[in-house]
Amino acid sequence: MYRFLVVIEKANNNYSAYSPDLPGCVATGATLEEAEKNMYEAIEMHTGGLLEDKLPIPESKSFAEYVAVAKKSSMEQTA
């Protein structure tokens, strides 16, 4: 089993998705759920093509983390 980080971003009228560990492997969808489904299928197709061509599957090295930053008051921002 392979695991890859997937980043999904909200665009103007849809969602786009990509995996930093699989360059060129991207997907879009009208909804978040559709983008997730399409990205899953894109990863399956991408890795399947690599295996078919006898190329290595890249090792997943990416990770994601949220960072919390305190919101400054409007008075602190102008100082």
Instruction: Please give the backbone phi and psi of residue 15, each rounded to the nearest 5 degrees, phi first.
Output: -125, 145
In a domain, 1, yes or no: no
In a domain, 58, yes or no: yes
pLDDT score for 44 = 97
Across residues 40-46, what is the average pLDDT? 98
Please tell me the total count of domains within the chain: 1
pLDDT score for 78 = 62
Across residues 16-40, what is the average pLDDT? 97
Distances (CA, A) of 66 to 27, 41, 52, 53, 70: 23, 26, 36, 37, 13
Across residues 1-12, what is the average pLDDT? 94
pLDDT score for 73 = 74
CB 27, CB 17: distance < 8 Å: yes
Residue 53 has pLDDT above 90, yes or no: yes
Tokens of 1: 């089993």
Q: Give the CATH number of the domain where residue 37 resides.
A: 3.30.160.250
How would you classify residue 24: left for phi > 0, otherwise alpha for psi between -120 and 50, otherwise beta? left
